[in-house]
Structure 1
């Protein structure tokens, strides 16, 4: 590895390398760090002492004696409680807030319904919730590094502009500028599915994977794309809009109508809202069905469809199978183009993903030219908030910046 720069720049780079080595391999001794990253022992020792003084590293106990005997080396650990990051997942129905340490351990959390504060000032209320959590946990303000935010819409991370988030009625909304009215620390925002992909890569099933697809299946269908360890956002921050894929051209050419205004084809035939609507429509035409009377005045949900299918209801199973086929074809299309190592299924529908996963895997393996791992989200409801923390750690320039 060739590193060039001024002495100060070299010191800064080496300090980051030493800290990263401790994060990756703790417990570890100074001598082991020197051997791993090819920096002299005296230099490593100086940098470690500085990191200890800055509270990024702590010494614990003693290591094992070498086979030759002699003094046991002191073991070094990353101090994951040296600072904290706030993670916010703003959803169309719920806002979730966490305070996390630097290893992704959640030390405080809370949530509230989005629509209760959307008209009166969402960020104003978020700031009150954040202050309450900080006070509750007695966290020193100076240890809060910053905040990451996931937004349910197209978001430009560089400018902090929410181009379009229909569920929040935000269009060309400068969330960073608005947030600066309430928060004194740095803030980064991105699309919520992109953020969830970062969360799964940091702490979930996609850990140590450099090429990842995270597919969120809820009312809509979106996709977070990580290529060569970098989040791929596209030319206008709109990459991953998988819900617009077409998986049946005949259907599109006939009387296709999106499930919501401006929604795409795939999410209109395989999203949660579509599954619930189709089930309701079918049962309304089946007078002998146990739920026939119930659906006269009430629409059923995707959750109900999965429960009915699990109980053996053939109508519900047929609808889920049809949606699963469309979803699987969309995954084949995306995976053929991007060749990921792993695909993670998240979002609301993924709570029932174990029911559809075998069929998805079978279809994808049948049509995909190369094999790929497919799993459900390991982080579940926390993928968004932990991903928001990961977004901050990746974007903010500091000694602990993620690669």
Structure 2
């Protein structure tokens, strides 16, 4: 990259982050001379990457206000796709992370008949339906529920998709007309929260997703930490009770870890079922005899004061809290973002979690719920593209 290209990216980044902003303010913030800033801004205006407003109106002191520059978020678009074991969500976003269009389909329908081809069809439909110029779609980021070798573009293992050593990027190159980047779904969600959510302007972030399983995305000094074999952040394998582990512990699913087997959504449902079966007078006793109760039922019952459900949730929260304490002790993040299906009931979990974490950590981080919610994965995939792809928009 030449000095001019680097300066141009810096000027655009400055406008993007601080708009509305004047040329003089850019020169100060970017530490680039005023004449150079003016030349670069003129180029950006011609390319329609920025626009200006105002005609130098008078200020209260009688001087003329400088013309303000704004970033043109609609100059180009990016696709973000969140591939889950149950559902695939695809969005088209502008450069500011505003969702222009979205669609989703059930994963199982297309697992054997070509998942990426179906995503391509969805994108074509979204482009046509929303009148988007296909030439303005820069590329796509994707989040996958499994260990992903990002440099090679290979999904090492994604059990819910039945993928082992799946050549994701090689396949994508055959299907999509633009560059594609891929990473683990929780890593991607962490990037989304740092870009647009509750981890904005934080350089050291831990994103913990608690659903059926438990995983985390780690950002250290503003960079995603993936680990030696791309498996960093597998928080679900943490052991939070060695006595239980030494007993007759069996994971909730084959190859699942200890923490997700005692505090994940599936585990909460299994433990509720077992507890209800121990109380024949419980209103859900007959239902529990027929089939395992879902994890969501524990939260529903707890809200109505059901003591059995409250005890199950208390135990799960305790395990989660110890997992958070261990991870925070090691990583010392500024903020821990909590997401995933289990944290849809955050109001019931967060106070107790904070109480335990603050009790045991000398320097506790902020604990916040994911701001992006169900869009964290798809918007994070957009953020992944903006971070990985060499362009003037790189963040």
Short-chain TM bin: over 0.9
Q: Which residue of 2 aligns with 1:37?
A: 30
Counterpart Cα distance in 2 of 1:364 and 1:86: 37
Aligned to 1:82: 75
Q: Does 1:255 align with 2:242?
A: no
How much has 1:375 moved relative to structure 2? 1.0
Name the counterpart of 1:3. none
1:247–1:119: structure 2 CA closer, same or farther, 3 Å change rule?
Answer: same
Q: How many residues are matched?
A: 395
Deviation at 1:181, TM superposition (A): 1.6
Report the TM-score when normalising by structure 1. Answer: 0.96
Q: Residue 180 of structure 1 aligns to a residue in which SS?
A: helix
Q: Where does structure 1 differ by over 3 angstroms across 4 or more consecutive aligned residues? A: 62-72
Does the Cα contact within 8 Å between 2:56 and 2:64 map onto a contact in 1? no
CA distance in 1, matches of 2:56, 2:21: 8
**CA distance in structure 1 between the partners assigned to 2:26 and 2:83 by the alignment:** 40
Q: Which moved more, 1:167-176 or 1:36-45?
A: 36-45
Is the 2:57–2:64 Cα contact (8 Å) retained in structure 1?
A: no
Distance (Å, rounded) in 2 between the aligned partners of 1:186 and 1:159: 14
* Equivalence for 2:100: 107
Give distance in 2, aligned partners of 1:269 and 1:161.
Answer: 30
SS in 2 for 1:108: strand
Give structure 2 stretches of 5+ with no counterpart.
none
Question: Match of 1:50?
Answer: 43
Q: Is the 8 A contact 1:58 1:76 kept in 2?
A: yes
Q: 1 CA distance for matches of 2:312 and 2:327?
A: 23
Separation in 2, partners of 1:293, 1:13: 67
The correspondence for 2:274, drawn from 278, 281, 299, is 281
Report the 3-state secondary structure (helix = DSSP H, G, I; strand = E; otherwise coil) of the residue aligned with 1:95: strand
The alignment's C-alpha RMSD in Å is 1.1
Which one of the candidate residues 350, 357, 374 is aligned to 1:357? 350
* Contact 1:361–1:374 (CA under 8 A) maintained in structure 2: yes
* Residues 65 and 73 in structure 1, CA contact (< 8 A), matched pair in contact too: no
Residues 1:23 and 2:16 aligned together? yes
Spell out, residue by residue over 1:192-248, the C-alpha distance to the aligned partner (whole angstroms, 9 max, x if none).
000000011111111001100000000100010000110000011100000000011
The structural deviation recorded for 1:43 is: 1.2
Corresponding residue for 2:385?
392
The one-character-per-residue Cα deviations of 1:312-362 (angstroms, maximum 9, x if unpaired) are 111111011001000000000000000000001100101012201111101
Which residue of the other structure, out of 340, 364, 367, is the alignment partner of 1:347? 340
Which whole-Å deviations, capped at 9, do the CAs of 1:128-175 have from their partners, x for residues lacking one?
001000111111111000000000000111110000000000000011
Alignment of 1:198-277 (within 5 A): 198-277=191-270
1:136 aligned to 129, 134, 157, which one? 129
Aligned equivalent of 1:366: 359
